[in-house]
Structure 1
Amino acid sequence: MIQIRDPVHGYIYANELEYNIIDSPVFQRLRKIRQLASAHLTYPGALHTRFEHCIGSMYLAKRAANHLKSQEIINEDMSNELSIAALLHDIGHGPFSHLFEEVLHEKGMTHENITDRIIRETEIADILSKFGINVKKFSNLCVGTSKNHPRFMNDIIAGFLSVDSMDYLLRDSYFSGVEYGKVDVHRIIDAYEIAGKKLAINKDSVYALESLMLARYEMFRAVYFHKSVRASAVMIIRAMNLSDEELHFTDLNNLDGFLQLTDERILYNISNINSNSENSKLAKKLVIDYTNRKMLKLVFEKIVLGKDKFSTKIFAQRKFRENLAEEIAEKSKIPKSHIFIDVSTATSVPTTSTKESFNEITVLLNKTRKKEFEITKATELPLMNAILGYMNIIRIYTTATYKKKLDTTVKGIFEKEVL
């Protein structure tokens, strides 16, 4: 048993299997992938990585497992699988975390796909097999999609009530230096109940669930979708997209090549790209500006509370956004390459392990021998109903040179469409 000192959870203990995974080169790579990608340029303390987040998630999964074992809902083997799944849940993240995933998304891939491959095709598979874990049956639990485990185990690993969500809110809040993400996660975990095969929560702890909802909302507004955080994010996403054809970041046929990619390696490769193509030149400029913190400038921002057709198309259709950028470029006489349309990708309603909207929660009404549950609609929880839609944000950025020129054009287009 080894001891790890964590600034968020205190002392965390890892058994031999967990230690073998943590000490493997594949897992150690996560030290070089920042949890919040480019957010440290706005919040200087946000330099924490996927490495410690995965260990923190493991700690919370252990606590959840102990709670369920005390109720004789799971056995020791299931308990071990929960903690290992939480430890490995983000092992497939690429450089710049979710920013790389936005690039992957355009290729029809996700970090969950890569997580499954890494668990099956690298030394991680050998470590798991050595300790008697069936890798084929286990790997999907790490991304919360296992058909070989009860639904509630998936829910603990992925989705709104997961240990992943609870750790990242606490950890991101702590390192960003903001007060918004503080949640009584132990209260929520100790309120875990099982209804059928799904995760439920004790009625007495619904207030803690609401605090989790509010923390998520405030962290998205104040940190994850802060205008300056997204300005730097947009620069990196565009740079990776523009240089991908030359540098093959998303060519996952070579898994070993992917495992060499880190935040700093991406910046180095793009800033030293040896190509005269316009795409490569712009990618290089964006990375150099990013490194020197010469951020894009915000020209337009709109928080969409309703569902006007124009805004809905901007969120839903990439082609529509491209056409809008062309229209803005034509009317303002600005190169399209200097127009950056950014839309929030987080839903205002959290999701479950099955990627469905978190529309309802199963609540335990009493703890008698015959437990009684009721299903409560998420919109019946006052806080949930109050914040619906507030994370639907449209922003348009440009370089400092074109900011004044673009202001009038963009406002005119949006005013015309809304009217």
Structure 2
Amino acid sequence: MSHTNKLKIFNDPIYGFITIPNPFIYDLIQHPYFQRLRRITQMGLSYLVYPGANHTRFHHALGCLHIMQKAVSVLRFKNVQISEEEENALYVAILLHDIGHGPFSHAMEHSIVEDVHHEEISLLFMHKLNKEFDGKLSLAIQIFKGEYHRKFMFQLISSQLDMDRMDYLKRDSFYSGVEEGKINSDRLIQMMNVVDDVLVIEEKGIYSVEKFLMARRLMYWQVYLHKTSLVAEEILTRILKRAKELHQKGIEVDCSKPLSFFIQNKIVFDDFTDEILNEFAKLDDTDIVGAIKNWQYHPDFVLSELSKKIINRNLLKIKMGEEKFPIEEITKITENFAAQKEISSVEAKYFIFKGKIKNQAYSKIAEPIRILKKDGNLEDVAVLSDQLSLKALSKQVIKYYLCFPKELDKV
């Protein structure tokens, strides 16, 4: 009788070889819920700007698992007591932290289901898996929810300097080719320590923290909030909104069965039964791409034109500014476009819309990144840093944008 070797390795372009620590982690990776992440892009539609940015949530989750293993090793070396059960729970929590992402990650987070965050769906998946694996995820769920008494474990999963951010900055900068996002995760992990069950960075690691925060700020402006990615994601959410609207009017909108289920039904968090969670688990990027390839030939002008814009990368024009765009001007160009295309002003608003983006690399309100000084005292990195730029990173920057068809006169 043959037995599967569950202690396999993955060859990762960022870290080299990633080892699976035990058979239980292997079984979670092999589960269909987790394998779905191979078909969910990490950076949504950013590949329309950076052609190499086609990596997936699967890559990212494995990367997080790898650096969590390093963090546990470093902390144990510094005499931080972590039991085998706690270690495994940390691996499970970080491996599954993004399992609730829907198609195109953040781009469609509130489009498939109504105002439900991916973290909430991740937790639902964890509870479902916990039943399947006879309660083996119970401690991981406790840590993930921040309910475990050892605070530093939650900070390793979710904080302003967690394993998630360390991996996605390094990975996204690599695949996009944006050098400004590079960080020294090895150095950051080596400088980690725990004081009174709180995660800290030793003082000699302060410059690596400053570099990390600066890289995060630059990656948001240059990649995550890039205006082309932004407008593409806005179009994608409006495509799905239009498909749902057409269905409500009794107009047929052809697509895959999993996507059809969410177009036909308005799902809020309280609706999430095991059956609906299983339907959600059938959804991935291919459902969306397949649908919009079909919808570019749909008789509805709005659905067809928006779909063509994504498929052919012939996107709307986007204009950025420091001030809000005047409502009067937006109304005027909306009316002009509606008359030009012989559509209603409501339909024209699918092509002309405004919004705003925010960038804040470091929050003073959230749990701070604590620096362990040589005298044993703890200090917020923003206070201790001699970099004026770091203090500026704590300030929230807001920019406003307006999207409209390229053929319109300049606004």
TM-score, structure 2 length as denominator? 0.81
User: Would the aligned equivalents of 1:92 and 1:113 in 2 still touch at CA under 8 Å?
Assistant: yes
Distance 1:97 1:295 in 2: 20
Match of 2:345 in 1: none
Gaps of 5+ in 2: 1-6, 248-259, 338-347
Match of 1:191 in 2: 191
Following TM superposition, by how much is the alpha carbon of 1:39 offset from its aligned partner in structure 2, in angstroms?
0.6
User: Would the aligned equivalents of 1:358 and 1:378 in 2 still touch at CA under 8 Å?
Assistant: no
Following TM superposition, by how much is the alpha carbon of 1:329 offset from its aligned partner in structure 2, in angstroms?
2.1
After superposition, give the CA deviation of every residue in 1:189-231 in whole Å (9 maximum; x if it has no partner). 1111223232111011010000000110111111111111212
Match of 2:45 in 1: 38
Distance 2:50 2:161 in 1: 26
After superposition, give the CA deviation of every residue in 1:50-86 in whole Å (9 maximum; x if it has no partner). 0010000000111111122222332221111111111
Match of 1:261 in 2: 283
Match of 2:372 in 1: 364
Match of 1:8 in 2: 14
Distance 2:136 2:146 in 1: 14
Match of 1:376 in 2: 380
SS at match of 1:360: coil
Identity of aligned residues (%): 29
Gaps of 5+ in 1: 305-309, 315-323, 409-419
* Letter matched to residue 185 of structure 1: S
What is the 5 A alignment of 1:316-335? 328-330=330-332, 333=335, 334=337, 335=348
Following TM superposition, by how much is the alpha carbon of 1:379 offset from its aligned partner in structure 2, in angstroms?
5.5
User: Would the aligned equivalents of 1:296 and 1:399 in 2 still touch at CA under 8 Å?
Assistant: yes
SS at match of 1:401: coil
Moved beyond 4 Å, runs of 4+: 273-278, 324-327, 388-391
Structure 1 window deviating more from structure 2 (383-392 vs 4-13): it is: 383-392
SS at match of 2:355: strand
Following TM superposition, by how much is the alpha carbon of 1:126 offset from its aligned partner in structure 2, in angstroms?
4.7
Structure 1 window deviating more from structure 2 (3-12 vs 232-241): it is: 232-241
What is the 5 A alignment of 1:114-193? 114-121=121-128, 124-126=129-131, 128-129=133-134, 133-135=136-138, 137-142=139-144, 145-193=145-193
1:294/1:45 Cα in 2 relative to 1: closer, same or farther (>3 Å)?
A: same
User: Would the aligned equivalents of 2:159 and 2:367 in 1 still touch at CA under 8 Å?
Assistant: no
Match of 1:336 in 2: 349
Distance 1:391 1:237 in 2: 24
- CA RMSD in angstroms comes to 2.7
* Letter matched to residue 96 of structure 1: F
1:80/1:326 Cα in 2 relative to 1: closer, same or farther (>3 Å)?
A: farther
Match of 2:404 in 1: 398
User: Would the aligned equivalents of 2:92 and 2:140 in 1 still touch at CA under 8 Å?
Assistant: no
Following TM superposition, by how much is the alpha carbon of 1:331 offset from its aligned partner in structure 2, in angstroms?
6.0
Distance 2:320 2:296 in 1: 36
Match of 2:320 in 1: 301
Match of 1:68 in 2: 75
Structure 1 window deviating more from structure 2 (45-54 vs 284-293): it is: 284-293
Distance 2:26 2:328 in 1: 52
* Letter matched to residue 52 of structure 1: H
Match of 2:232 in 1: 232
